[in-house]
């Protein structure tokens, strides 16, 4: 929006690609950052089904008023295929969460969620270097976080996923980029780790199974969530009840939004 808060013909358009989309949280945050930075830009929701993603990506190349988009579920993996360029980090992660449209129409993809997660921990005073980490999940968010945790210097990373092969594949992809990392494939038991991270969507719905065995949580553990709604997931509640320090999903979003705004050129 311009300095009077209006959207005009000069306003640059940003999007968030998701399906479903009603729950996405980023647009008010990005629009607030644009206002704070004095940029005439606005983020709006783009709800596109997976089967129409390729077509929509092509149309974005030719939408001259468009500068970039956040990419979220279920498009984070597939959208990487439709970019003209993807960062090495995002290629390794196998998913992106932002695209930028260069003036020549090329779409550049990157993955900022893992970096945002680690930055959110840092802002909360939680350093990860030298600590051991347990990560539930091997999907999009978990992938990004796994790479960021290893890049951030955890002493050991254990990946636990319902489908074990996905955890093994993630481990192998991280090892390809970071050959010296110590990475295990685990089960539902988080025992023996300093930092416990839920990187699955389990906990968004009231009847979801727990992403890990909460009876094994101990007060020396820090338990962190990627889920933002509900703010207090059953996992975080159980962790708090057991005396763990908890870390909500929102700081990751806050840090990511700043990183995304930078990426969009805001």
Active site residues: 76
Quick one: which of 174, 214, 217 has its CA closest to 195? 217
Q: Is residue 97 part of the contact set for its own copies (CB under 8 A)?
A: no
Q: Is residue 65 part of the contact set for its own copies (CB under 8 A)?
A: yes
**Minimum distance between the CB of residue 43 and its own copies, rounded to whole angstroms?**
7
Q: Is residue 230 part of the contact set for its own copies (CB under 8 A)?
A: no
Q: Is residue 74 part of the contact set for its own copies (CB under 8 A)?
A: no
Quick one: which of 43, 35, 49, 40 has its CA closest to 16? 43
142 φ, ψ (degrees, to nearest 5): -60, -40
DSSP H/E element including 196: strand 195-198
* CA–CA separation, 251 and 222 (whole Å): 15
* CA–CA separation, 128 and 121 (whole Å): 8
Strand order in the sheet with 132-136: 183-186, 156-160, 132-136, 195-198, 222-225, 245-247
Q: Is residue 62 part of the contact set for its own copies (CB under 8 A)?
A: yes
**Minimum distance between the CB of residue 102 and its own copies, rounded to whole angstroms?**
15
**Minimum distance between the CB of residue 60 and its own copies, rounded to whole angstroms?**
8
**Comparison of 32 and 192: residue with beta carbon closer to its own copies:** 32
**Comparison of 44 and 209: residue with beta carbon closer to its own copies:** 44
**Comparison of 51 and 207: residue with beta carbon closer to its own copies:** 51
Quick one: which of 195, 245, 198 has its CA closest to 219? 245
**Comparison of 16 and 222: residue with beta carbon closer to its own copies:** 16
* CA–CA separation, 9 and 179 (whole Å): 50
**Comparison of 16 and 181: residue with beta carbon closer to its own copies:** 16
Q: Are the C-beta atoms of 40 and 10 separated by less than 8 Å? A: yes
Q: Which of residues 1-60 bind its own copies (CB under 8 A)?
A: 6-11, 13, 16, 18-19, 21-25, 27-28, 31, 42-49, 52, 55-56, 58-59
Question: Which DSSP string corresponds to 171-189?
Answer: HHHHHHH-TT--EEEE-S-
**Comparison of 63 and 204: residue with beta carbon closer to its own copies:** 63
Binding-site size, its own copies (CB under 8 A):
35
**Minimum distance between the CB of residue 14 and its own copies, rounded to whole angstroms?**
9
* CA–CA separation, 103 and 52 (whole Å): 24
Quick one: which of 131, 130, 80 has its CA closest to 108? 80
Q: Which residues bind its own copies (CB under 8 A)?
A: 6-11, 13, 16, 18-19, 21-25, 27-28, 31, 42-49, 52, 55-56, 58-59, 62-65
């Amino acid at each position: 929006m311009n300095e009077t808060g209006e959207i005009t013909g000069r306003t640059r358009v940003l999007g968030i690609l998701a399906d479903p989309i009603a729950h996405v949280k980023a647009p008010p945050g990005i629009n607030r950052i644009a206002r704070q930075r004095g940029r005439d830009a606005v983020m709006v929701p783009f709800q596109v089904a997976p089967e129409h993603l390729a077509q929509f990506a092509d149309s974005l190349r030719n939408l001259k008023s468009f500068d970039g988009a956040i990419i979220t579920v279920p498009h984070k993996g597939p959208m990487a295929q439709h970019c003209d360029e993807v960062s090495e980090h995002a290629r390794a992660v196998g998913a992106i969460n932002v695209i930028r449209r260069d003036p020549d129409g090329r779409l550049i993809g990157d993955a900022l969620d893992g970096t945002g997660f680690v930055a959110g921990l840092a802002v909360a005073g939680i350093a990860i270097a030298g600590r051991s980490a347990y990560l539930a999940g091997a999907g999009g968010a978990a992938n990004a976080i796994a790479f960021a945790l290893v890049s951030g210097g955890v002493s050991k990373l254990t990946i636990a996923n319902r489908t074990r092969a996905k955890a093994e594949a993630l481990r192998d992809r991280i090892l390809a980029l970071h050959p010296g990392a110590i990475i295990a494939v685990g089960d539902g038991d988080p025992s023996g780790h300093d930092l416990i991270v839920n990187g699955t969507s389990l906990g968004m719905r009231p009847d979801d199974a727990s992403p890990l065995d909460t009876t094994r949580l101990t007060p020396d553990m820090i338990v962190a969530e990627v889920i933002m709604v509900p703010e207090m997931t059953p996992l975080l509640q159980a962790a708090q009840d057991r005396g763990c320090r908890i870390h909500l999903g929102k700081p990751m979003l806050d840090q990511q939004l700043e990183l995304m705004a930078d990426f969009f050129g805001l």
